[in-house]
Amino acid sequence: MTDRVSMLKDAVKSIHRPTVSSKTVLLLLALVAIFSVALFLRIYPSKYGYYLHEYDPFFDYYATNRLVEGFKEKGLAGFAEYFTWRDYSTWFPEGRDVASSSQVGLHFAGATLYLIATSIFNISITLYDFLVILPVYIGAFTTLIMFLLVKRFAGSGGGLLASLLFATSPPLLQRGSLGWFKSEPLALFLALSAVYLYLTIYDSKVKLSSLIWRASLAGILLGYANTCWGGAQYFGIVFGLFLIIASFMKFDLEKNAYAGGLLVSFTLVFSSIFPRPGAAFILNPIGLLLIVGYLFSLIAYRLESVQEKMFSRNVLKAVFSLLVVSLLVVSFGAVSAVSARYYTVIYPFQRTADPLIESVAEHFVPTHIEYFRAYGVLIFLALFGVYVAFRRRSPESIFALILGISGVYIASSFSRLMVYSTLALVTLGAIGLVELSSSILKSSKVVGKKAYLREIRSDVKIAYSILLIGLLTIPMVYPVGSSWRDIADQPVSIANAGTGYKIELSDWREALAWIRDNTPEDAVIISWWDYGYWITVMGNRTTLADNATINSTKIAQIGRLFMSNESQAASILKSLLRDPKEPDRLRPGYIVAFVAGQRLSSQGFEYYMLGGGGDESKKQWFIRIGGLNMTQFLYEDEFTPKPYFWENTILGKMWPFEFVQFVDRSGRFQGSEYKPGYIALYTKQLKYTDDDGLLKLVFKSSSLDNPSAEGVFAAVLIYKVLM
């Protein structure tokens, strides 16, 4: 017994309490603070309401719900049925092959995470509420991945800075806040995790067995990211270029060859497991770049034993041979076709002429003002970071250079892709800042004939620190109205009825509830394609078109319908509403018009000024996409309607307004003759209120008669087709 007690005492003594340095504690506290900031900024829009944001997330919720319900009913067979699902509640009458036209990886991830949360962890939450909050946590956890990644480039200090900037970056907040159950947050989390894992193979302690699982998992994550978002294919460009450049620079050619083969193989396989992007990814330009990059790294590895001069010569021969083979592959048409959208990304300075693509706000070209508002002094730090990274010439620094330069280039095509300029500037900016601060804040040892220390004065260090903190934090609060905090303070779209105002407007929710409860189940709802997902999912009715923009011909037809007179519109409506099962029968039809603006009071009269994000702000795209003549309908500002618009289009007749006169910028009345800079004022006048016309008004939302305290209205009007 005594021996056992003695043994127990010895065992207790051998157990040492783990020691944690104060530096580690501070680092952990900083990460917790950054994680909290990321959560707070991304959940900030909940002050306006707890909803899915924008349009696409409603369909992604709809498809994810199909997977969840299928699994609950049939298990894995319910998951399998998803791939044969043709949804006839949209794109009437053809329907939509969901698996081949959706971000399937996102849907499966959402369904799987929800089933784990509710079935394993017993969390009581609806799927809708779960998907509303999911992007917030994915974005916050991605800040931690960003810390680990940039720590490899710029140490712990650089990693913390990058993580903080990533957490507060406006482009990422705009595309990853509350309700954004869409492609980017999950795809970025997966792809950045893949980048971090792959770069760890260059650690000296990593052996072959560890290299295998790291490179394989990186390929799996990267491939799955491609199934969640087409934009994630950008990382294929980065990896393909890195494999080629790393071979030229002879970065551990053995690891490069083995890891590159695993990365490329798993990326191609897991990109192909779902119909989109599917097997075509292997033969698209990015897939081929990955293959060429791997072949190049393999050739370089085989040539490693030759002399340096012969190595360079033989590598150049290999480059020439691969270029010739690539040209032959292209000439025989083996490369998958590139869509107009991706073509614009590759050649951002040659814009597509497709007005459907140009009409989407996220496809606008970012301006230099947007860059300065989003990044401020970070741009200049990133330029210095380019110099530092090029001088180091390590695998990590070369990867950072490729990521940085290509990210800025790709982001120059679409505002949506500014998430990549954020990655670029945050990474390179962290490298530049750490190098600059290290030079100023630390003692420098100069070795020559004599060794001595050069100490920067304390007041210079303090001034530098204050200046740097000020420059980095200014964009968080200034300029007022477009600071980083203001960007976070944006309502989810359905909470403010899809307008540009930071107020709560219930109009679209009222309209969708009315559609769901008051229209026949076989009704077909016609609206501009933006609102198709809302109507299908929340209104539970069939629509003609939605944000998938699958059929540009039908979208153009809707544009022409809105800009047609009643006789032309009647003919178009007959073709659109014809029941495919009973050609002699028309399905019940309803047209949704949405117009926003402000109500003004002057001298006892009420006037209405249009412009707030409704159809009045999009009608120019109805005309362009419909292939019509802009000057026939609008004045030279391409916004203000001419009398012809009000008198000869059903859209003009559906809007409940009549023109009064123009005012100038100072508010003085200027009569009925338009001049550039004039603003049109209208009075309210309901139309199509009788039963003897083509249409009849059956619903109008509340803010038309009762605008908000600021005078804002977002009128949703529903007209029944009388045919």
Is 488 part of a structural domain of the chain? no
Alpha-carbon torsion, ordered 311, 313, 318, 320, to 10 deg:
160
Are 512 and 410 in the same domain? no
Residue 199 — very low, low, confident or very high, per pLDDT cuts 50/70/90?
very high
Which domain range does residue 349 map to? Answer: 225-477
Are 550 and 471 in the same domain? no
Query: How confident is the model over 193-198, as a mean pLDDT?
Result: 97
Is 112 part of a structural domain of the chain? yes
Rg over alpha carbons for the chain, rounded to the nearest Å, is 30
The DSSP H or E segment spanning 592 is: strand 589-602
What is the chain's mean pLDDT, rounded?
88
Residue 99 has pLDDT above 80, yes or no: yes
Query: How confident is the model over 344-367, as a mean pLDDT?
Result: 61
Alpha helices, DSSP H, located in 169-250:
170-174, 183-199, 208-228, 234-248
Are 582 and 471 in the same domain? no
Are 303 and 250 in the same domain? yes
Per the structure, the count of domains in the chain is 3
Residue 555 has pLDDT above 90, yes or no: yes
Q: What is the pLDDT of residues 258-310, one digit of tens each?
A: 999 999 999 999 999 999 999 989 888 899 889 989 988 888 887 765 555 56
Residue 484 has pLDDT above 80, yes or no: no
Is 287 part of a structural domain of the chain? yes
Nearest 5°: the CA angle 160, 169, 362 is 150
Residue 507 — very low, low, confident or very high, per pLDDT cuts 50/70/90?
very high
pLDDT of residue 354: 65
Backbone angles phi, psi at 209, to 5 degrees: -60, -40
Alpha helices, DSSP H, located in 490-565:
507-518, 532-537, 552-562
Q: Give CB contacts under 8 A, 24+ apart, made by 455-460.
A: none
pLDDT of residue 31: 95
Are 544 and 439 in the same domain? no
Query: How confident is the model over 407-429, as a mean pLDDT?
Result: 87
430, 460, 477 - which closes a domain: 477
Are 402 and 348 in the same domain? yes
Residue 589 — very low, low, confident or very high, per pLDDT cuts 50/70/90?
very high
pLDDT of residue 7: 63
Are 515 and 472 in the same domain? no
Name the DSSP class of 634: B
Is 496 part of a structural domain of the chain? no
Are 366 and 300 in the same domain? yes
Are 322 and 448 in the same domain? yes
Higher pLDDT, 715 or 345: 715
90, 125, 160 - which closes a domain: 125
Higher pLDDT, 371 or 579: 579
Give yes or no for a cis peptide into 395 (omega within 30° of 0): no
Total residue count of the chain as it appears in this document = 723
Query: How confident is the model over 425-447, as a mean pLDDT?
Result: 80
Residue 321 has pLDDT above 60, yes or no: yes
Of the chain, the percentage scoring pLDDT greater than 90 comes to 65
459, 477, 495 - which closes a domain: 477
Residue 345 has pLDDT above 70, yes or no: no
Is 653 part of a structural domain of the chain? yes
Are 265 and 392 in the same domain? yes
Residue 611 has pLDDT above 70, yes or no: yes
Is 16 part of a structural domain of the chain? no
Residue 143 has pLDDT above 90, yes or no: yes
Residue 170 has pLDDT above 60, yes or no: yes
pLDDT of residue 328: 58
Residue 273 neighbours by CB distance under 10 Å: 15
Query: How confident is the model over 513-524, as a mean pLDDT?
Result: 97
pLDDT of residue 301: 82
Question: Among candidates 459, 421, 425, which has minimal Cα distance to 440?
Answer: 459
Are 521 and 401 in the same domain? no
pLDDT of residue 588: 97
Alpha helices, DSSP H, located in 543-672:
552-562, 566-577, 619-625, 630-633, 643-648, 650-654
Residues 708 and 622: their CA atoms lie apart, in Å, by 28
Residue 317 has pLDDT above 70, yes or no: no
CB 258 within 8 A of CB 216: no
Residue 57 has pLDDT above 90, yes or no: yes
Residue 451 — very low, low, confident or very high, per pLDDT cuts 50/70/90?
very low
Q: Which of 93-107, 418-432, 472-486 has the lowest mean pLDDT?
A: 472-486
Are 454 and 517 in the same domain? no
Buried-exposed string 437-450: b where 16+ CB fall within 10 A, e elsewhere = beeeeeeeeeeeee
CB 566 within 8 A of CB 650: yes
Q: Which of 247-256, 360-369, 544-553, 704-713 has the lowest mean pLDDT?
A: 360-369
Of the chain, the percentage scoring pLDDT greater than 70 comes to 86
Query: How confident is the model over 144-168, as a mean pLDDT?
Result: 94
Model-level pTM?
0.90
Is 382 part of a structural domain of the chain? yes
Is 34 part of a structural domain of the chain? no
Residue 445 has pLDDT above 60, yes or no: no
Q: What is the 3-state secondary structure (H, E, C) of 75-118?
A: CHHHHHHHHHCEECCCCCCCCEECHHHCCHHHHHHHHHHHHHHH
pLDDT of residue 322: 61
Query: How confident is the model over 640-644, as a mean pLDDT?
Result: 97
